[in-house]
A and B are shown apart, each in its own frame.
Chain A
């Protein structure tokens, strides 16, 4: 029972962290160009070019 006081906030916190991470990734445009991201890995480093 005492464990719950500790574990429940941890469970909620981790879920909340995931949610916050998802919101952040959406706002910063991580999903704007999914195909492009897959292609860009094949590009040489732009400084080297």
Chain B
């Protein structure tokens, strides 16, 4: 009753919020989320986007994001609010390309229909009519579908450079222009079909490229979490208010609850707690801090609420310093020239001088301006890099799709090209070689009932140790016991009742070193220790990298002897205690030696190194900054996708080179025919589609590349 009233009265005033829900897996989840949210008072409508793992909620303005996240948690899903469609711009780009492709496809089919009639012998008034019709379809289609190429070519020429789009644009424009002239003068050959077909094939390549990029990005966006976007600030009058991170100023007193991330650097005034500093240092063991200690933005308060007086906010925090370092480090990478553009640098001058020479040659031979121009343009059309424009994206899309199935999301094609050139790997330790989150070392000591109680208690809390324990127990096939009256005391733990007896999951009184929780069931007490274990296949993955000719080294911010232990265990050199600037310097040094370094890291402290490396990969559990700086993200618990990605990237580049050779071979065959003046629109159309099909077919073979072991 209440809900109905709300949804009708507030329909006009509703606001939309989006949440990413990585945990949805099936139709049941969709139904559960949509129906569950619809029952929450204040929610007008909820719509799940399963592909993006997102839910859009239309709700009354007084219902906060936190309340909706809470409601989702009650339904059994972890959720994070996301900013207003951060990827909308990429989407728009893909849609524009798709529309252009549709227009080009429509025009191509209809012009082909008319052209086939001309080729099979229509003449006189029919032929002229068909040419006029073709022109009427082709001109608007070229103007619309050619825009992405024309714009990019104009941009390149403005900066006195050349890319793949320059020869494409010149070819298309000349072919169209000449065909219009032919139609106006009642000539024999109109190349409208060739020009539009060229656009269609090339747009297909661009669309593939864009779809690959979008898919990877939306995958990564759903992994991103929101960290420390603001804080509860206590004002002297006793009033507290939520202040966004940008508006925090030195001197303010933030009240940071357990489990919250700090939004600014500061000094602890009251309270004592432990802080997860893995974002900054890569160290997963929480550090204790009390009154007078300095804590940094991006660290997470784990145990108890504290009050922190802000010393540096927004642009002045340690995080912002690292972000600046990353910005500068990323500059060098933008100088990388994609393989297609490198090919175009050789290709465009060659083709254009060839066409010019053909024109001059025929003029000398006395063919007349019109005839010579016709033949020169035929040379341009036949050499137009149709297959070349498809050669790279087709291979890269197939490879990226194959890698995505194995848990590696590649952000764009340029990343694959750079991955193929890697000859050294630099690995971070925490979160990269290890899982980056605590896991109970063993649950063997627990009996069946204790496990069920532990799960019931652990799943009621969002504390990292509780979450780790709950997921381990669930994997072991435990189902939760019926524990009632569960109360969570921040900084202490959880208490509840099971079959009338008190049970609890608490911070141990004397845990000694490392992380632990104590489970109490009546008089029995178990201490569960937590460690950050190695990824199960770390050694294999390092071997696989070595067998690809990529020696690895560890560069860690960790100061403990765990780094040297890792070095012994995996037999590779390791350096510990490195600051973000040290890692950056190490990369610069290696680059100066001519190495192409692959950087794999997760923490914010790896951010600058990730941005500076020749190519970089971050694990799915990495900080936002790292995932955004990295070229690729691997999800899951295996490290193997990293080694696999290099192998697939190299195979992709081999296929790309094969495609180039095929496209060049086709030119070697076709160009003499064109120079001799024997190319008709029919021959051009057949040659163009044939070479494109061969290139696409060759690229499809890559789909198997990520499957077979060798």
Contact = CB atoms under 8 A, between A and B. Distances in A.
Interface of A: 1, 4, 8, 11-12, 15-16, 18-19, 22-23, 26, 32-36, 39-44, 46, 49
Interface stretch (B45-53, B185-193, B596-604): B45-53
Given A8-B133, A39-B26, A49-B31, A15 B48 contact: no
Nearest to A41: B27
Interface string B556-582: 000000000000000000000000000
Given A11-B113, A12-B110, A44 B31 contact: yes
Pick the 5 closest A-B CB pairs, nearest first. A36-B50, A42-B27, A39-B27, A19-B106, A35-B51
B18 to A, nearest CB: 13
Interface string B107-140: 0011001000000000000100100010001000
B30 A23 contact: no
A36 B49 contact: yes
Interface stretch (B96-104, B277-285, B616-624): B96-104
Contact of A32 (B26, B30, B51): B51
Given A26-B98, A43-B30, 14 more contacts: A1-B126, A8-B133, A11-B113, A12-B110, A15-B106, A19-B106, A22-B102, A33-B50, A39-B50, A40-B30, A41-B27, A42-B26, A46-B31, A46-B35
B95 interface: yes
Contacts of B27: 39-43
Contacts of A40: 27, 30, 50
A26 B98 CA distance: 9
22 contacts: A1-B126, A4-B126, A11-B110, A15-B109, A15-B110, A19-B103, A23-B102, A26-B95, A26-B98, A33-B49, A33-B51, A33-B52, A34-B51, A35-B50, A35-B51, A36-B48, A36-B50, A39-B26, A39-B30, A39-B50, A43-B30, A49-B35
Contacts of B98: 26
A19 B102 contact: yes
Contacts of B133: 8
B213 to A, nearest CB: 16
Contacts of A35: 50-51
Contacts of B31: 43-44, 46, 49
Interface residues of B, number: 24
A33 to B, nearest CB: 5
A42 B30 CA distance: 10
Nearest to B95: A26
A18 B106 contact: yes
Nearest to A42: B27
A1 B126 CA distance: 8
A41 to B, nearest CB: 8
A8 B132 CA distance: 13
B106 A32 contact: no
B297 to A, nearest CB: 35
B219 to A, nearest CB: 12
Contacts of A15: 106, 109-110
Interface string B29-73: 011001100000000000011111000000000000000000000
A9 B365 CA distance: 45
A19 to B, nearest CB: 4
B29 to A, nearest CB: 9
A33 B637 CA distance: 27
B85 to A, nearest CB: 12
B192 to A, nearest CB: 15
A45 to B, nearest CB: 11
Nearest to A27: B95
Given A19-B102, A26-B98, A36 B35 contact: no
Contacts of B109: 15
Contacts of B50: 33, 35-36, 39-40
B102 A36 contact: no
Contacts of A41: 27
Given A26-B99, A44-B31, A36 B51 contact: yes
Nearest to B25: A39
Nearest to A12: B110
Nearest to B91: A32
Contacts of A42: 26-27
Contacts of B126: 1, 4
A27 B137 CA distance: 23
B199 to A, nearest CB: 15
B4 to A, nearest CB: 14
Residue of A22, A34, A36, A43 ringed by the most chain B CB atoms within 10 A: A36
A35 B24 CA distance: 12
Contacts of B35: 46, 49
A44 B35 CA distance: 12
B99 A23 contact: yes
B208 to A, nearest CB: 15
Nearest to B109: A15
Contacts of A49: 31, 35
B28 to A, nearest CB: 8
